Structure 1
């Protein structure tokens, strides 16, 4: 019985996640011209000590593999939102650092992200498939 219950709960989580991620991605892209992963990377960098993280640490924090985070950081760099630096103690270690322009983009997009998240969750409460999950998560 537990497996069935766990499966049903997980299905609700996946459905809710997909719905909310889709809304966030569309809105952030439309209003700010960046992808959702780019926004999340900028948020993690903005809140990191010194505005920098090792590439692998950033990958872990935003749920990407090393190859995907490398492409993501390359896009951010080409837009002037981050820059790379080598670790002074270990030349193999690569850091990515948020720029002032990156901070400005992240700060401007943050209210959009939070508003869209709230609206997507509010909307989901009316869906019998995921509404009880949203209510439980917000409790």
Structure 2
């Protein structure tokens, strides 16, 4: 039981709703910004995830673990990015059914350009709303939650 008599189930539900609503509000504001006129946010998510891959190549199914899209939606999105010259794909050498993806030079440059603007937009939203200490605490709490959920797989 929560100390103020509130049930733990109700507290968890209200906490989740607050986190979810805050994330939706921030994402809507960011999506409306100038950074996402060249690519949609979910396309940028793919470019960003590929940019963080140390080897340069990432399996499609591994990419799917990092984005909020179904496998079929991700496959279509990757096809669009490939047609635009932003992503390259090849068959995985050890597995003919597997697909490897990487950013092209154009994709890496676009990701960097959008990323710089995106980070400024994020700072413009979070800076006035939360102190540096509050931002660090929020980061700590969300990482703790993500790690807890990830450990249960």
Q: TM bucket by the smaller chain?
A: 0.7 to 0.9
Unpaired runs of at least 5, structure 2: 1-6, 141-153
SS of alignment partner, residue 7 of structure 1: helix
1:6 to 8, 12, 18: 12
Match in the other structure for 1:137: 138
Superposition TM-score, scaled by structure 1 size:
0.84
* Aligned position for 1:91: 96
Q: CA RMSD in A?
A: 1.9
Structure 1 residue runs of 4+, over 3 Å off?
Answer: 122-125, 133-136
Provide the residue aligned with 2:36 in structure 1: 29
Greater gyration radius:
2
- Using the TM superposition, give the Cα deviation of residue 6 of structure 1 relative to its aligned residue in structure 2, in angstroms: 0.6
Does 1:52 find its partner at 2:53? no
Query: How many pairs align?
Result: 130
- Does the 8 Å CA contact 1:81/1:101 hold for their aligned counterparts? yes
Which digits, 9 at most, give the CA deviation of each residue in 1:21-68, with x for residues without a partner? Answer: 1122222323xx101111111111112133221111111112222111
Highest relative contact order (Cα 8 Å, sep 6+), 1 or 2? 1
Q: Which runs of 5+ in 1 are unaligned?
A: 126-132
- Higher percent of residues as helix: 1
